[in-house]
Amino acid sequence: MLKGKYFETLFLGSGRDGEMTLDLPRKKLTKRQEQENIIAEFEGKPILNKGGETIDQERIREQVLRGEQRARELKIDIIKNGNTQVKILKKFSNNIMLSCNIDIFPTSVTIGNSKPSLAIIDIKLTSDLNAKAGYT
């Protein structure tokens, strides 16, 4: 879930309810790097060794770039903090209120030379491109 929240933060500007994940756990530091950090912290200097990004983090950043490119191709307007993470409430009955959060809405999508169509977009991040979870 943390990786999905990181992806949403980079691609949409935030996750649901404005939640932001700006970084992911980093690669483990060497003993020497850990010692350098302790000395720097003791001396009031900035910590220099944070650990490198994991391969998953690098791939997520690449997916964000691909997603932005695809959005340009389909003429999808993504307005961070505008039409992203939109909360919808609907009264179902006197004592039942339905709610949902939509990743991108309202926006239009233009496929090929067709006219723009109104769209509701829910983005997904998966580690398995062949996964069938979520499909009915």
- The answer to whether residue 123 scores a pLDDT higher than 50 is yes
Band of residue 116 on the pLDDT scale cut at 50, 70, 90: very high
Of 74, 78, 77, which Cα lies nearest the Cα of 112? Answer: 74
Higher pLDDT, 133 or 14: 14
Mean pLDDT of 86-93: 94
Determine which helix (DSSP H) or strand (DSSP E) holds 69, and give its type and residue range. Answer: helix 55-73
pLDDT classification of 132: cutoffs 50, 70, 90: low
In the prediction, which pLDDT does 129 show? Answer: 64
State residue 136's pLDDT score: 42
Average pLDDT for residues 115-122, to the nearest whole number? Answer: 94
- Give residues with Cβ within 8 angstroms of 72, minimum separation 6: none
Distance CA 57, CA 100 (A): 28
Q: pLDDT tens digits for 25-59? A: 999 999 999 999 999 999 999 988 889 999 999 99
